[in-house]
Structure 1
Amino acid sequence: MEGMTGVFGFVTGYIIPFILVLSLLVFVHEMGHYLVGRWSGIRVLAFSVGFGPELAGFTDRHGTRWRIAAIPLGGYVRFFGDEDASSKPDMSKLESMSEEDRAHSFAGARLWKRAATVAAGPIANFLLAIIIFAVLFSIYGRSVADPVVAEVKPESAAAEAGILPGDLLIAIDGGKVETFDDVRRYVSIRPEQRIVVTIERNAEKMDLPMVPKRTDMTDQFGNKMEIGLIGIVTNQEVGHFRVQTYTPLAALEEGAVQTWHIVTGTFKYIGNLFAGYMKADQLGGPIRVAQASGQMATLGVAALLQLAAVLSVSIGLLNLMPVPVLDGGHLMFYAIEAVRGKPLGASAQEIAFRIGLAMVLSLMVFATWNDISALIG
């Protein structure tokens, strides 16, 4: 009985939030492909949330099969003329099509229509993130604090650079600082990298170079991570903690800003991986996403939605990678086609798709290994 209770708790606490979040993100991504594809006159054969055997579905009046599949780790839109769910064209069928059928196939569509249809998926993910953030800011506002130093940790980067309690941070590397969170966000992804913090002290501005120290952190759920810290703290007395409210329009603008921060932060993280400033073991896969979904669910709907927004941006960026089988790989092919005046040959595309599939599978295996290592570590 105790074992059954544990299994039920695992399913309701982790699996269900994970499936709900991932299904939402996949549905929005594929809906982007579907809507622009239909608008472009391309016939849609199937819209699937999940892979594998169909659990439930129906066929609409346009001939599109809408399906929920057994494996909730992705989804696809299959267009007329596609060989499979990756939108690889079936060249043999394409050659035997009538002119009318060819015009309604994905491969037979004009180049700009194919590019717009492919790009619509990631764009839909970015728009979803903006909307989620905007809704959260409209309802809950955002907790902010002034970037004023209340305490400087001994032997920290800030102490070595000469920062003192009472200093107002006004810029980092020339970029304006408005809240204490701006400082935290900028510094955390730059461990062991030289930055220049501009402070104001007694109406005098000073530029103080420093190097954030790589620090192991553990969050409230016990998850370990490495970030950069300069060793400063604020408090209510000097930081004036408050909730900043937004009108719907201002919330939408702030949602776009937050989404952009995630995009730039992701690129910075990738750059840090190649430069050796950060370890690749922080790259997570489905197990870690499921774990994070369950953890955020315990904090409430708002926290789970915030995670969904972050993951939505991540999915959008991942799909824009120039790897065949991903949306970015298709866009790369279309760029080559635009330059050459004709698409790559079928054999070249076949080889590229195989290489791309191997790369994606390798990344999934690596990320899953990181997840398992974190669980047993």
Structure 2
Amino acid sequence: MTDNPGFLLTIFAFLITIGVLVFVHEMGHYLVGRWCGVKAETFAIGFGKELTGWTDKRGTRWKICMLPLGGYVQFAGDMDPASTPSKEWLSLPAEERNQTFQSKSLWKRASIVFAGPAINFLFAILILAGFALAYGTSETLPVAGTISENSTAAEIGLEPGDRIVSVNGDSIEMFDDLKQKIVLIPDQQATFVYEREGQLIEKTAIVGVDVQVDRFGNEYRLGLLGMSAGKVEWREVGLLEAPLVATERTIRIVKAIWTTLGQVITGKRSIKELGGPLKIAQISGEQFKLGLEAFIGFVALISINLGFINLLPIPMLDGGHLMLYAIEAVRRKPANPKVQEWAFRSGFALVMVFMLVVTFNDLSSFGLFRAFGG
């Protein structure tokens, strides 16, 4: 019997997760926009009909909307996805036009766009730094302790005391690096290099699979090496070191996201493993029920994912804008307006297809289509 958090708790946790992260993301755009002298006309959490809101002394309308699946900052003059100057913009008085997004230099526009994903990473680093201060960090070396029978570790000939040097050419410094690498490649061939008494040994084998089911009934396929650490060591982390530890952990998570995305694109992982808003909602409720610590850690993880996804070079996302700015920097003039328009239409279509796929995956994982099929 699974320990389901219930519908109301799931919705509550999901709204907190999305609301906080969207607010943080858009606040990054807003703050850098203000610093660059751009007027923000609207700061919205959600889309659609306004539920509640107020207008501040700067003329910015702050509002919460009906559909809580995102948000936006509408800067003055930012009339279309490509932010191209219009006849209306050109007719504005000089003072008013100088407060618009289009009037700013290329580096300022790029900074405003980049600030959203950047603050998502900074927000996660702040959370992870707090965890590092509270619990310390592991300094366990990738040295074998016990070796499980009929495991990948046994197949490549690992013995207690051997130290893993690299996996698939990636250097392994700590046991956490090894775990992070292995869990992402279940049932895949990998090349291991390990050290024994000063000698390097290279072996290739298929990584084992560990199918885990959590208390909520969710099933996960994880890579399994079949080796325990020789000696687990933890140490305390000081206030100045905590951000460094948190940054290292964030980089590991980004590498894991990148690896997983690459595996899906190359067919090594099924696209069915990708989840969308409904899956995030489900896990939000589960993590909330596990406790505040687990929930905050989950929020940090989703914040990193949000920052990463928004940096992908897809028009409609922040990364797509940055890509066009990079082209503008090289050409010394903006891309053709029609090219930008078609780029953003294509990007919108791609995002919509992705949302349909992950929503289909979410509904499938909930057993909806099995129910319809009898």
Same fold per superposition (TM over 0.5)? yes
What is the CA distance between 1:180 and its match in structure 2?
Answer: 2.9
Structure 2 distance, partners of 1:143, 1:96, is 61
Q: CA RMSD in A?
A: 2.3
Which residue in 1 is equivalent to 2:289? 298
State the alpha-carbon separation in 1 of the partners of residues 189 and 31 from structure 2: 44
Q: 1:166 to 1:174 in 2, by over 3 A?
A: same
Unaligned runs of 5+ in 1: 1-5
Partner of 1:164: 159
Q: Is the 8 A contact 2:210 2:224 kept in 1?
A: no
Partner of 2:126: 131
Amino acid at match of 1:219: V
> Residue 303 of structure 1 aligns to a residue in which SS?
helix
User: 1:198 aligned to 170, 194, 208, which one?
Assistant: 194
Distance 1:29 1:306, change over 3 A: same
Matched, 1:10 2:4: no
**Aligned-partner Cα distance in 2 for 1:226–1:307:** 19
Residue 362 in structure 1 maps to residue 353 in structure 2: yes
Contact 1:212–1:230, Cα closer than 8 Å, also in 2 = no
Distance 2:189 2:116 in 1: 35
Q: Which stretch of the first structure deviates more once superposed, 293-302 or 34-43?
A: 293-302
Give the superposition deviation at 1:174: 6.0
- 8 A Cα contact 2:151 2:208, kept in partner: no
| Count of matched residue pairs | 364
**How far is the alpha carbon of 1:162 from its aligned partner?**
0.4
Aligned partner (choices 41, 55, 60) of residue 59 of structure 1: 55
Q: 1:339 aligns with which of 330, 345, 352?
A: 330
Could you tell me whether the CA contact under 8 Å between 1:143 and 1:244 is conserved in 2? yes
Following superposition, the deviation at residue 344 of structure 1 comes to 2.3
Aligned to 2:308: 317
Structure 1 residue 146, shift from structure 2 partner: 4.8
Task: Give runs of aligned pairs for residues 209-358 of structure 1, distance below 5 A.
Answer: 209-213=203-207, 215=209, 217-220=211-214, 221-234=216-229, 238-240=230-232, 243-358=234-349
1:116 aligned to 2:111?
Answer: yes
| Distance of aligned partners of 1:180 and 1:8 in 2 relative to their CA distance in 1, 3 Å threshold | closer
Distance in 2 of aligned mates of 1:359 and 1:31: 26
**Counterpart position of 1:3:** none
Are residues 308 and 8 of structure 1, via their aligned partners in 2, closer, same or farther at CA, if it must alter by over 3 Å? closer
Give the CA deviation at 1:354.
Answer: 1.3
Amino acid at match of 1:135: G
Residue 40 in 1 paired to residue 32 in 2? Answer: no
Task: Report percent identity of matched pairs.
Answer: 40
SS at structure 2 position matched to 1:228: strand
- The residue number in structure 1 matching 2:93 is 98
For 1:141, which of 129, 136, 149 is the aligned residue? 136
Asked whether the 8 Å contact 2:27–2:116 carries over to 1, the reply is yes
Q: Are the aligned partners of 1:190 and 1:212 in contact in 2 as well (CA < 8 Å)?
A: no
TM-score normalized by the length of structure 2: 0.90
Output the CA distance in 2 between the equivalents of 1:354 and 1:119.
Answer: 21
Change (3 A) 1:11 1:359: same
